[in-house]
Amino acid sequence: GEHGGAPLSQVAINWAIAKGTIPIPGARNIRQVKQNLSTLDWSLTAEEERMLDDASAKVTGFVTPNFFPRKDVNTGLAMYDS
């Protein structure tokens, strides 16, 4: 697109928006806040979105299934019901 050189943070925010989610980006300083807001000045093209989708499909998950314990280790009480 015409947004070559956009920071990766802007690409990530725009991709999240393209996927129909509401991103909640963090910022440690005013420069990052402005950079995040500048994301709204442009959008990914359909081709760019497809390329990101394809790339993300190749990434394996980082969280193992059943990561959270079913029972509290101290009390033995159920932590969640699923």
pLDDT given for residue 65 in this prediction: 64
The confidence score (pLDDT) of residue 24 equals 94
pTM (two decimals)? 0.68
The predicted-structure confidence for 10-62, as pLDDT tens digits, reads as follows 999 999 999 999 999 999 999 999 999 999 999 999 999 999 999 998 887 76
Count of all residues that appear for the chain in the document: 82
E strand or H helix that includes residue 8 = helix 8-18
Give the pLDDT score at 17: 96
Structure tokens at 67: 């990561």
Residue entry with tokens 């989610």: 21
Structure tokens at 61: 């998950």
Q: Work out the angle at residue 49's Cα, subtended by the Cα atoms of residues 45 and 51, and round it to the nearest 5 degrees.
A: 115
Could you tell me the sign of the dihedral formed by the alpha carbons of 17, 13, 53, 3, in that order? positive
Q: Is pLDDT larger for residue 64 or for residue 38?
A: 38
